[in-house]
């Protein structure tokens, strides 16, 4: 069945780069997403990438997609304390149903 | 402002007392979904709707009902809530099945 996996915790120093990794199983997914959830808040779409792309850059965010290995990563450059949050990787289920399949989320802690 | 609005944000109720969580979107989106978020599991789809009067089960529909009488509204109904439905619930909408999903702020439900 479909599954998305990501590591649960990441701790980085302020100013360093953060890299959050994700693996997925549905090779037919057309869209892959990164969502951010701050404490007590909803889900904010950070960025997404089409499956026919290898990389997408958006200001401090860089998404890399390796379709062969079904591996997605999110790099945050110059990480700030405001980046502390839970980051969810998600794929759009290729079978329809308007279903996003989420990983369990990676909690990013940024320390001085 | 384009948004998905859920109410209430927080709810504590007792086992067996029927409740409804409302969801409304102002973007004229066709697709709407309900998810629940549990620690270590990410978000899982409960129900989705492709248009008015068209709804279908997601991955975890047991104990829930939905309706879609109008395009903008997609309420989630718990006829007889149980403690295992204590969770954080999110409503989402999108223009099509594989386009960006916009999420509400979430409803934290506790069933005692």
Overall average pLDDT of the A72-80 stretch: 97
User: pLDDT of B3-20, one tens digit each?
Assistant: 999 999 999 999 999 999
> Which residue on chain B is closest to A4 by alpha carbon?
B42
Which range, A24-28, B50-54, B60-64, has the best average confidence (pLDDT)? Answer: B60-64
From B54, which residue of chain A is nearest by alpha-carbon distance? Answer: A97
The answer, yes or no, to whether residue A96 has pLDDT greater than 80, is no
Residue B97: pLDDT band with limits 50, 70, 90:
low
Print burial letters for B12-39: b (CB count within 10 Å at least 16), e (below 16). ebeeeeebebebbbeeebbbbbbbbbee
Q: What is residue A56's predicted lDDT score, i.e. its pLDDT?
A: 94
Confidence grade of residue B54 (pLDDT, cut at 50, 70, 90): very high
Cβ contact A43–B98 (<8 Å): no
- Average of per-residue pLDDT across B22-36: 95
Contact B106, B7 (CB under 8 A): no
Q: A102 and B43: CB-CB below 8 Å?
A: yes
- B69-88 residues labelled b (16+ CB within 10 A) or e (exposed): eebbbbbbebeebeeebbbb
* Residue matched to tokens 């506790």: B110
């Amino acid at each position: 069945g479909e599954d998305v996996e990501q590591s649960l915790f990441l701790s980085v120093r302020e100013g360093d780069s953060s890299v959050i990794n994700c693996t997925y199983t549905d090779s037919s997914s057309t869209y892959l997403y990164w969502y951010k959830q701050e404490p007590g808040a909803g889900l904010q779409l950070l960025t997404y990438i089409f499956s026919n792309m290898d990389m997408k850059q958006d200001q401090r965010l860089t998404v890399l997609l390796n379709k062969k290995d079904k591996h997605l990563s999110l790099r945050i450059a110059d990480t700030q304390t405001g980046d502390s949050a839970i980051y969810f990787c998600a794929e759009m289920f290729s079978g329809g149903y308007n279903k996003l399949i989420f990983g369990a989320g990676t909690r990013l802690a940024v320390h001085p | 402002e384009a948004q998905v609005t859920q109410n209430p944000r927080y709810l504590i109720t007792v086992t067996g007392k029927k409740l409804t969580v409302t969801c409304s979107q102002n973007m004229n989106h066709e697709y709407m979904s309900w998810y629940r978020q549990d620690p270590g599991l990410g978000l899982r789809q409960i129900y989705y709707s492709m248009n008015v009067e068209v709804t279908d089960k997601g991955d975890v529909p047991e104990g829930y009902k939905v309706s879609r009488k109008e395009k903008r509204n997609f309420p989630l109904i718990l006829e007889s809530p149980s403690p295992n439905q204590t969770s954080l619930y999110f409503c989402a909408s999108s223009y099509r099945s594989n386009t960006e999903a916009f999420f509400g702020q979430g409803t934290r439900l506790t069933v005692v």
